[in-house]
Amino acid sequence: MSPSAISILKALEKSGDLSLEEITALIPKKYGDHRDFYVFASLATQGFVDDGMQPDLRDSDSPKPEPKEQLLSWKYFAMSSAEKTATYRGRSWSIHGGNETLKGQRFSLSGKGNLYLSEAKTKRFDRAFAIGSGILIGIIVALAAVLIERYVKGV
Protein backbone atom coordinates (compact mmCIF):
# COMPACT_ATOMS: atom_id res chain seq x y z
CA MET A 1 0.00 0.00 0.00
CA SER A 2 1.28 3.47 -0.84
CA PRO A 3 2.61 5.78 1.87
CA SER A 4 -0.15 8.33 1.18
CA ALA A 5 -2.83 5.65 1.62
CA ILE A 6 -1.29 4.54 4.90
CA SER A 7 -1.11 8.15 6.13
CA ILE A 8 -4.84 8.58 5.37
CA LEU A 9 -5.67 5.37 7.24
CA LYS A 10 -3.54 6.37 10.23
CA ALA A 11 -5.12 9.84 10.36
CA LEU A 12 -8.59 8.26 10.28
CA GLU A 13 -7.57 5.85 13.04
CA LYS A 14 -6.21 8.68 15.18
CA SER A 15 -9.16 11.04 14.86
CA GLY A 16 -12.07 8.62 14.42
CA ASP A 17 -13.40 10.38 11.35
CA LEU A 18 -12.31 13.17 9.00
CA SER A 19 -14.04 15.46 6.56
CA LEU A 20 -13.27 15.24 2.86
CA GLU A 21 -11.59 18.63 3.15
CA GLU A 22 -9.25 17.30 5.87
CA ILE A 23 -8.48 14.17 3.86
CA THR A 24 -7.76 16.33 0.80
CA ALA A 25 -5.03 18.06 2.78
CA LEU A 26 -3.35 14.66 3.33
CA ILE A 27 -3.34 13.74 -0.37
CA PRO A 28 -0.17 14.72 -2.28
CA LYS A 29 -1.01 17.11 -5.13
CA LYS A 30 0.92 15.63 -8.03
CA TYR A 31 -1.54 16.39 -10.84
CA GLY A 32 -3.97 18.89 -9.32
CA ASP A 33 -7.03 17.04 -10.60
CA HIS A 34 -9.01 13.84 -10.03
CA ARG A 35 -5.93 11.65 -10.53
CA ASP A 36 -4.67 12.70 -7.11
CA PHE A 37 -7.78 11.12 -5.55
CA TYR A 38 -7.31 7.60 -6.98
CA VAL A 39 -5.54 6.51 -3.80
CA PHE A 40 -8.45 7.62 -1.64
CA ALA A 41 -11.03 6.19 -4.07
CA SER A 42 -9.17 2.88 -3.95
CA LEU A 43 -9.34 2.85 -0.14
CA ALA A 44 -13.10 3.41 -0.35
CA THR A 45 -13.77 0.73 -2.99
CA GLN A 46 -11.63 -1.85 -1.20
CA GLY A 47 -13.53 -1.25 2.02
CA PHE A 48 -10.73 0.30 4.10
CA VAL A 49 -12.61 3.61 4.40
CA ASP A 50 -16.31 3.95 5.13
CA ASP A 51 -18.05 6.49 2.90
CA GLY A 52 -21.38 7.41 4.44
CA MET A 53 -22.66 8.75 1.11
CA GLN A 54 -22.28 5.41 -0.65
CA PRO A 55 -25.22 3.00 -0.43
CA ASP A 56 -24.71 -0.03 1.79
CA LEU A 57 -24.75 -2.93 -0.66
CA ARG A 58 -25.23 -5.44 2.17
CA ASP A 59 -28.77 -4.16 2.83
CA SER A 60 -30.09 -5.11 -0.58
CA ASP A 61 -31.10 -8.53 -1.86
CA SER A 62 -30.23 -7.69 -5.45
CA PRO A 63 -26.56 -7.58 -6.42
CA LYS A 64 -25.35 -4.10 -7.32
CA PRO A 65 -22.01 -3.23 -8.87
CA GLU A 66 -19.33 -1.71 -6.70
CA PRO A 67 -18.59 1.95 -7.45
CA LYS A 68 -15.75 2.42 -9.90
CA GLU A 69 -12.58 4.02 -8.64
CA GLN A 70 -12.50 6.46 -11.54
CA LEU A 71 -16.01 7.75 -10.83
CA LEU A 72 -15.24 8.03 -7.12
CA SER A 73 -12.02 9.92 -7.82
CA TRP A 74 -14.02 12.37 -9.95
CA LYS A 75 -16.60 12.69 -7.19
CA TYR A 76 -14.08 13.21 -4.39
CA PHE A 77 -12.10 15.73 -6.43
CA ALA A 78 -15.22 17.71 -7.32
CA MET A 79 -16.56 17.63 -3.77
CA SER A 80 -13.23 18.41 -2.08
CA SER A 81 -13.69 22.16 -2.37
CA ALA A 82 -17.44 22.45 -2.98
CA GLU A 83 -20.03 23.80 -0.60
CA LYS A 84 -23.48 22.69 -1.86
CA THR A 85 -23.03 21.58 -5.50
CA ALA A 86 -20.15 20.25 -7.57
CA THR A 87 -19.83 19.42 -11.25
CA TYR A 88 -16.98 17.58 -12.92
CA ARG A 89 -16.75 15.80 -16.27
CA GLY A 90 -20.47 15.98 -16.92
CA ARG A 91 -21.48 14.66 -13.50
CA SER A 92 -23.05 16.64 -10.69
CA TRP A 93 -23.25 16.12 -6.95
CA SER A 94 -25.22 18.16 -4.47
CA ILE A 95 -26.28 18.21 -0.86
CA HIS A 96 -29.42 19.84 0.51
CA GLY A 97 -30.56 20.92 3.91
CA GLY A 98 -28.89 22.09 7.05
CA ASN A 99 -25.38 23.38 7.29
CA GLU A 100 -23.84 20.36 5.58
CA THR A 101 -21.37 20.84 2.76
CA LEU A 102 -19.93 18.46 0.22
CA LYS A 103 -16.38 19.10 1.38
CA GLY A 104 -17.53 18.55 4.96
CA GLN A 105 -18.75 14.98 4.36
CA ARG A 106 -17.30 12.65 6.98
CA PHE A 107 -15.31 9.48 6.36
CA SER A 108 -14.23 6.91 8.91
CA LEU A 109 -11.95 3.92 9.14
CA SER A 110 -13.79 0.67 8.48
CA GLY A 111 -13.22 -2.58 10.33
CA LYS A 112 -11.17 -3.82 7.41
CA GLY A 113 -8.98 -0.70 7.54
CA ASN A 114 -8.51 -1.06 11.27
CA LEU A 115 -7.55 -4.71 10.84
CA TYR A 116 -5.05 -3.78 8.12
CA LEU A 117 -3.33 -1.21 10.35
CA SER A 118 -3.29 -3.65 13.26
CA GLU A 119 -1.69 -6.37 11.13
CA ALA A 120 0.87 -3.91 9.76
CA LYS A 121 1.88 -2.92 13.31
CA THR A 122 2.17 -6.59 14.31
CA LYS A 123 4.31 -7.39 11.26
CA ARG A 124 6.57 -4.42 11.97
CA PHE A 125 7.04 -5.58 15.58
CA ASP A 126 7.69 -9.16 14.45
CA ARG A 127 10.36 -7.99 11.99
CA ALA A 128 12.06 -5.81 14.60
CA PHE A 129 11.95 -8.67 17.11
CA ALA A 130 13.45 -11.12 14.60
CA ILE A 131 16.24 -8.69 13.69
CA GLY A 132 16.94 -7.91 17.36
CA SER A 133 16.98 -11.61 18.24
CA GLY A 134 19.34 -12.34 15.37
CA ILE A 135 21.75 -9.63 16.47
CA LEU A 136 21.63 -10.79 20.10
CA ILE A 137 22.24 -14.42 19.13
CA GLY A 138 25.12 -13.34 16.89
CA ILE A 139 26.74 -11.45 19.78
CA ILE A 140 26.29 -14.43 22.15
CA VAL A 141 27.79 -16.84 19.62
CA ALA A 142 30.75 -14.50 19.00
CA LEU A 143 31.41 -14.16 22.75
CA ALA A 144 31.10 -17.93 23.23
CA ALA A 145 33.54 -18.51 20.37
CA VAL A 146 36.08 -16.14 21.95
CA LEU A 147 35.70 -17.80 25.38
CA ILE A 148 36.05 -21.30 23.91
CA GLU A 149 39.11 -20.23 21.92
CA ARG A 150 40.76 -18.79 25.05
CA TYR A 151 39.90 -21.93 27.05
CA VAL A 152 41.37 -24.22 24.37
CA LYS A 153 44.59 -22.14 24.16
CA GLY A 154 44.87 -22.11 27.93
CA VAL A 155 44.72 -25.91 28.26
Task: Determine the pLDDT at residue 64.
Answer: 58
| Across 10-36, average pLDDT | 93
Whether the CB-CB separation of 146 and 42 falls below 8 Å is answered with no
**Strand locations in the chain, DSSP E?**
17-19, 49-51, 85-88, 91-94, 106-109
Say what the pTM is.
0.76
| Across 18-34, average pLDDT | 94
Count of C-beta atoms within a 10 Å radius of residue 36: 19
Summarised one tens digit per residue, pLDDT across range 79-126 is: 998 999 999 988 999 988 788 899 999 999 999 999 999 999 899 899
| Across 15-33, average pLDDT | 93
| Across 19-40, average pLDDT | 94
- The amino acid at 144: A
In this model, does residue 9 exceed pLDDT 60?
Answer: yes
Mean residue pLDDT across the chain: 89
